[in-house]
Structure 1
Amino acid sequence: MKIHLSIVLAIAVLFPGSIQAQTTWKHGRLHVTPDKTGFQYRDGTPFFWLGDTGWELLNRLTTEEAIHYLDDRAEKGFNVIQITGLSLESLERKNRYGEQPLHNRDPLKPNEAYFTRLDTIVKLALDRQLVIGLVVTWGDKVVRVPGYGADPIIFDEAKARFFGNWMARRYAQFPNIVWILGGDVAAVREEGDFRSVWGAMAEGIISGTGKDRLITYHPSGYRSSSAWFNNTEWLDFNMIQSSHGEHDAPTWEFVATDLKLTPKKPTLDAEPNYEDHPAHPWPKWEPDSGYFRDYDVRKQLYRSVFAGAAGVTYGHHAVWQFLNEREEVGNYADRGWVNALDRPGARQVKYLKYLMESYPASGRERDLSIIIAGQGNSKKDHAEAFRAASKKYAMIYLPVGKEISVNATQLTGKRTKAYWYNPRNGEVTVSATLTKSSSMKFTPPSSGAENDWILILEDADSNSAAFSSYKKK
């Protein structure tokens, strides 16, 4: 007799004791670090957020397809998957098992059968040590957003509070949930001020989970959640969407601005330009504008993190929508989701995580003054740099390979050891060990556009930096 896998997993979710016996979440729930710049598990283990965008997973995939996707992302080094509860599609749409999320489009009447599927997805992620960044509802269910569907506005404060609480109580037992409000929408628009509705939803989540949780807000393009919520107690960290409207959107400026705010909170770009997304497709895409490719992705990821972000989220234009032969092509996607899983950018992003995990997670300070010659004159070749507060090491991301001059006197020690780190393949080249000076020239192994490099400088007389121990994974 065959028993469908989704049924087995759904039964396991309904009996929490069996879940705890089967799966161990290694380090405890996620928390903000004491210095308010990043994340760590409950036991103090650092956590570098490397997300993938899987918005439509719940609607468009079978359980077997979801397993394939989650296995692929775990193998590629991702540790967060961003998905939606109530999706950006119509509330009338049925998932692959014929279920709609709500009865009569009413958030007071969730469809148990639909959310049993979400139970399964959360459990599958838990088994793979993946965090689910759960967007409770896409923003068009709170405010009418041009370009989205014709669903009615279904949330006021009371319904938002109820639904947030209902979701939170359902998933309170799971340690791998980060709660995301918003869903590609500004909290204050011409149509009105919707902060109280989102605040009510946050109150519902907190009443259902207690304070041992993380909540954030996913904004519309070219914005940060800090514009509306940095001073609110329920917002634990900020999210940025530098978006897909232009090449080289200054994500580093959003990050730097957020980190200057009081109270201080971690921040990250949760939606930079997706790989294979058409560049600036609104209101009409011009084919000559092209697509964002892996080079465009790398530039945004590295520059946001080097500016001080607590991590970053990658996205692929076919994967977020899980484009397949059953679906209408969304916004000029150029391939299906299975083909897109192995695109170059998706394979390369793990090298950013490996690099950042090779050094202490705290005590990083953005410092562009290290660069004394070779800084770009435009956004497309803008270089980002940071150093350790201990002054034992520094890193510089060069989006265009070219000679650079640096002031190494800001590092400790008499000698400086230099490495070139290749973000395309994770390989390391030892440049030299040199006497430290206020003007040191370095030339990367290759030059020009699409030849981006990271220059790593260490105090050669100290054992505390020790990048020499790095091994490509």
Structure 2
Amino acid sequence: MKPSFSLVTSLFLLAGFCLPPAAVAQAGQALELSQDRRHLVYADQTPFFYLGDTAWELFHRLNREEVDAYLTDRAHKGFTVIQAVVLAELDGLNTPNPYGHTPLIENDPTRPNPAYFEHVDYIVNKAEELGIFIGMLPTWGDKFNKKWGVGPVCFTPENALVYGRYLGQRYKNKPIIWILGGDRSPEEPQHFEIIRAMATGLKEGDDGRNLMTY
């Protein structure tokens, strides 16, 4: 007896829904602007659909078991980007992550804490495994323009360049979209200098491979 058309169709649909984005994603390809500069595409010009979820405290607050559960859930729901902050909003400099590590040694952007960034690496790698890009904010805005929030302000143009270069080099070949700003507009000349220096460092570090926005 031949299976009915509806049964076969249902099985194919079910199989499709069970596949994570990694099963169909263009593995290892960076994103770029389309030729008309109106869309995002992979390097082979295949269209990329940006469906993002905001998880600002992902690097800061979740342990690895929670990371696995969250990212797997989002992958199966079709999300293609997760937006998260390295130097997080909620006292991200001084409150440690679940493993007891803060991101910077003595809050110095030129001295990243290797133990903290090993956890960031884990999250980025897990996202890559699931076919998800990370919309990575190098810092929340209160680290260069406190205005409100916890701070402290720790960036200068000089150390922003070094920090940006560090991130760019570390995640050069990973599925990253750089997002500058962190819910702050630059208001003073120094703010603009810091953001421009950080952007320059990111571009130097990853050789301009990954898209960047504000």
Residue 215 (structure 1) aligned with residue 197 (structure 2):
no
Q: Deviations over 1:424-448 (max 9, x none)?
A: xxxxxxxxxxxxxxxxxxxxxxxxx
CA contact (8 A) 1:27 1:43 kept: no
Q: Deviations over 1:279-298 (max 9, x none)?
A: xxxxxxxxxxxxxxxxxxxx
- Match in the other structure for 2:133: 131
Aligned-pair distance for 1:44?
1.0
State the distance in 1 between where 2:53 and 2:195 align. Answer: 24
Residue 120 (structure 1) aligned with residue 122 (structure 2):
yes
- Match in the other structure for 1:203: 200
SS in 2 for 1:82: strand
CA contact (8 A) 1:157 1:201 kept: yes
State the distance in 1 between where 2:128 and 2:166 align. Answer: 20
Q: What does 1:57-206 align with in structure 2 at a 5 Å threshold? A: 57-90=58-91, 91-146=93-148, 148-149=149-150, 151-174=151-174, 176-188=175-187, 192-193=188-189, 194-206=191-203
Following superposition, which runs of at least 4 residues in structure 1 exceed 2 angstroms of deviation? 24-27
CA contact (8 A) 1:83 1:135 kept: yes
Q: Deviations over 1:72-111 (max 9, x none)?
A: 1111111000001110122110000000111111111110
Identity of matched residues, %: 40
Aligned-pair distance for 1:49?
0.6
Choose between structure 1 and 2: higher strand proportion: 1
Structure with higher RCO (Cα < 8 A, 6+ apart): 2
CA contact (8 A) 1:163 1:201 kept: yes
CA contact (8 A) 1:29 1:213 kept: yes
State the distance in 2 between where 1:27 and 1:99 align. Answer: 30
Q: What does 1:347-362 align with in structure 2 at a 5 Å threshold? A: none
CA contact (8 A) 1:27 1:42 kept: no
Give the letter for the 2:98 counterpart: R
Q: Deviations over 1:159-196 (max 9, x none)?
A: 1000000111111121x1011110000122xxx23111
Q: Deviations over 1:286-328 (max 9, x none)?
A: xxxxxxxxxxxxxxxxxxxxxxxxxxxxxxxxxxxxxxxxxxx
Q: In structure 2, do the counterparts of structure 1 residues 130 and 205 end up closer, same or farther at CA, with 3 Å as the change threshold?
A: same
Q: TM-score w.r.t. structure 2 length?
A: 0.85
Aligned-pair distance for 1:29?
0.8
CA contact (8 A) 1:165 1:201 kept: yes
Unaligned runs of 5+ in 2: 1-24
What is the aligned-residue RMSD (CA, Å)? 1.2
Indicate the structure (1 or 2) with the bigger Cα radius of gyration: 1
- Number of aligned positions between the proteins: 188
Aligned-pair distance for 1:211?
2.1
State the distance in 2 between where 1:85 and 1:159 align. Answer: 16
Give the letter for the 1:208 counterpart: G
Q: In structure 2, do the counterparts of structure 1 residues 49 and 89 end up closer, same or farther at CA, with 3 Å as the change threshold?
A: same
Give the letter for the 1:171 counterpart: Y
CA contact (8 A) 1:135 1:182 kept: yes
State the distance in 2 between where 1:158 and 1:78 align. Answer: 36
SS in 1 for 2:183: coil
Aligned-pair distance for 1:25?
4.8
State the distance in 2 between where 1:78 and 1:215 align. Answer: 19
Choose between structure 1 and 2: higher helix proportion: 2
Unaligned runs of 5+ in 1: 1-23, 218-473
CA contact (8 A) 2:94 2:102 kept: yes
